[in-house]
A and B are shown apart, each in its own frame.
Chain A
Amino acid sequence: MRSERARHNKIIFSGTVGAGKSTAIAALSDIPPVSTEAVASDETAALKRTTTVAMDYGVLNLPDGEKVMLYGTPGQERFSFMWEILSEGGIGLVLLINNANTDPLKDLENYLAAFRKFISGTAVAIGVTHMDRAQEPGLDAYRQKLADLGHDPLPAVFRADARNREDVAMLVKALLYTLNPGLIDA
């Protein structure tokens, strides 16, 4: 029997520390997101004051009363054991990459590898954040990296501001259309 968590409709938000997962969920959620952020005590502290040590989630309330859970995974890799559990039964993955990190393309590679099995059965849309602080690598470099990793067709890669609801919604919409281009949008 599938767990309660697995039976929910849910969209997974994952990505590197400081990429804006919690912020993105807050931008989209219909409820104040439940977060388990704590004061960062390791190398993460150099990047942000608090970090998600377990998970956080928000909710999209659909008009028919149904709910879509927005799950954010912890960014720190030592919590990666949770990623598979959280993503079980998910609709798809919104992956946020902090472009101001030392090697964001390597981050992209690592996260795609970690979610390879999940993505192969669903879809991924990628948001590159903090491009105002770090212009490079550009979107073309991300596309090239994805091609090098064998992604064909390439998933959607957008420049994104996690604080901006429209940007986050655009990522989710791209994810949905990737799953089914025949969705009616009007």
Chain B
Amino acid sequence: MSRHTHLPGQPLTALYLLHAGSMDARLIGLSVERHWKHSVRLVATLDEARVVLVDCDRPGVEAAFEQLGQHPRTGVVCYAFHPKDHAPRFPNRVILGKPLNLESLPGILAQAANDTARQVAVAPPRPQAAPETPPANFSSKPAALGHGLKMDDERDLCGAMDDIPLTAGATLPEKLFFDPDLYLIGHLSRAVEQAIVSGRPHVISGLPRLIGVQPRPLPICVTAFRDNQLRPFSMTQLPNTTARIVSSLIFSESVGTDTVYGAEDFLWNIAAWAARGRLPLGADPYQRVRLKAWPNFTHAFVSPHALRIAALWTRTWASPVEIATRLAIPHRYVFSVFSSAQFAGLLDRDAPAVTPPVIAPVVAPTQQQRPSILSRILRKLLNAV
């Protein structure tokens, strides 16, 4: 599907970013410039807008909403990490989940603008000026986005993909895969590779913050991105030409002394956030692989069941689907670990020609004395930490 989605004769949607951070503003600005120029137009003032986009996670959002009281004809689309948490504060508002789906956002903005204008047109005249903004009730529609009000933490981390068939042969859904080149992980992976091969520092520029890669003595990544910026940024599709990888002789001066990450940990995390329960394009969910080693889980992102997956997958040649089956967990959790492991360099694909048959499902913990005490210790640790 082309990203330049535009219905003939439809006016450009005048969009005002009412309460968006500078990074979001830049990303959305780039998207408008490069992909939506036939459907969306960014405007400089609220008066010109047909629809506004509001980041509910930023402080001061209530004050932002107060401004809308003067603009009843302006549609409102909100977005947040946890839409459910904001629903009581802003009832009847469209609240999309982060990351924003760039494919569908122009359509949602246009619909919010049109619906609001239509509601205002048919509403009975009010005696008072400055009426409250009519609600743009999309409660039954965001489901088409795959996120929205139903999104919860788990979905944030690993998506909501259904399991795939247990055996190869069927056509796999396209949405099972993500193209790393469209995300930060693709750029980062190339930068790390180029830095290691050349032995010289590299910098990813063109983003709101620089990301530097130092190959020696141990590969590290340095960035001024904060964690709470990195995660949404990693989840968001970047226009192809946004980031540039350049070799840098003066690493420390070009990047500064900001947060330092081990390259393996950094790649693991950025990949997990991009994947959200999907596989990198070209991955085979039925091919037997193995984890070379446990990831550094004191710093690497721990998705649901990741410890169990690592414990099993470091000792067993098995496909992602087989691992999920043995642990009796949804496939998407294993796909998340697979994606991270691939980019962190922890995936071993060189399975022996004859791999032993996949052993029986993991024994239920209640059947042995030891698992019983182990489970109780585990529960204690999970509750305590």
Instruction: Write the residues of chain A forming the contact surface with B, with a CB cutoff of 8 angstroms.
Output: 9, 11, 60-64, 66, 68, 91, 135-136, 138-140, 143, 153-161, 164-167, 169-174, 176-186
CB pairs A–B below 8 angstroms (20 shown): A11-B377, A68-B373, A91-B370, A138-B218, A139-B293, A139-B296, A140-B264, A154-B292, A158-B298, A167-B298, A171-B298, A174-B310, A176-B378, A179-B374, A180-B365, A180-B371, A181-B311, A182-B308, A182-B327, A184-B365
Q: Is the CB of A60 within 8 A of B377?
A: yes
Measured CA separation A161–B299 after assembly (Å): 11
Interface core residue of A11, A62, A173 (most chain B CB under 10 Å): A173
What chain B residues lie within 8 Å of A164 (beta carbons)? 298
Q: Is the CB of B381 within 8 A of A159?
A: no
Residues from 245 to 277 in B contacting A, C-beta threshold 8 Å: 262, 264
Q: Is the CB of B376 within 8 A of A66?
A: yes
What chain B residues lie within 8 Å of A157 (beta carbons)? 293-294, 296
Residues from 326 to 385 in B contacting A, C-beta threshold 8 Å: 327, 361-365, 370-371, 373-382, 384-385
Measured CA separation A90–B20 after assembly (Å): 54
Minimum CB–CB distance for A9 against chain B, Å: 6
Measured CA separation A172–B380 after assembly (Å): 11
Q: Is the CB of B370 within 8 A of A180?
A: yes
What chain A residues lie within 8 Å of B382 (beta carbons)? 173, 185
Minimum CB–CB distance for B300 against chain A, Å: 9
- The answer to whether B305 has its CB under 8 Å from any CB of chain A is yes
Q: Is the CB of A136 within 8 A of B217?
A: yes
Interface of A is mostly: mixed
Measured CA separation A157–B362 after assembly (Å): 23
Measured CA separation A74–B308 after assembly (Å): 31
What chain B residues lie within 8 Å of A167 (beta carbons)? 298
What chain A residues lie within 8 Å of B362 (beta carbons)? 180-182
Q: A62-B377, A91-B374, A183-B308 are in contact. Are A143 and B298 (CB under 8 A)?
A: no
Instruction: Write the residues of chain B forming the contact surface with A, with a CB cutoff of 8 angstroms.
Output: 217-218, 262, 264, 292-294, 296-299, 304-305, 307-312, 314-315, 327, 361-365, 370-371, 373-382, 384-385
Q: Is the CB of A154 within 8 A of B293?
A: yes
How many A-B residue contacts, CB cutoff 8 Å? 128
Q: Is the CB of B379 within 8 A of A63?
A: yes
Q: A180-B370, A181-B312, A183-B308 are in contact. Are A159 and B299 (CB under 8 A)?
A: yes
Closest A-chain residue to B316, C-beta based? A153
Name the one of B311, B364, B379 contacting A177, with C-beta atoms under 8 angstroms. Answer: B311
Q: Is the CB of A173 within 8 A of B381?
A: yes
**Which are the 3 A-B pairs with shortest beta-carbon distances?**
A182-B362, A177-B311, A181-B311
Minimum CB–CB distance for A70 against chain B, Å: 11
What chain A residues lie within 8 Å of B377 (beta carbons)? 9, 11, 60, 62, 68, 91, 172, 176
Interface core residue of A63, A68, A171, A183 (most chain B CB under 10 Å): A183
Q: Is the CB of A185 within 8 A of B308?
A: yes
Closest A-chain residue to B345, C-beta based? A140
What chain B residues lie within 8 Å of A170 (beta carbons)? 297-298
Q: A180-B365, A182-B371, A183-B308 are in contact. Are A156 and B376 (CB under 8 A)?
A: no
For the complex with contacts A66-B376, A164-B298, A180-B370, 18 further pairs of A-B residues with Cβ separation under 8 Å are A62-B380, A63-B379, A68-B377, A91-B373, A91-B377, A153-B314, A157-B296, A158-B299, A170-B297, A174-B294, A174-B310, A176-B378, A177-B308, A177-B311, A178-B311, A179-B374, A181-B312, A183-B378
Name the one of B296, B298, B308, B376 contacting A166, with C-beta atoms under 8 angstroms. Answer: B298
Q: Is the CB of A177 within 8 A of B307?
A: yes
What chain A residues lie within 8 Å of B311 (beta carbons)? 174, 177-178, 181
Q: Is the CB of B327 within 8 A of A143?
A: no
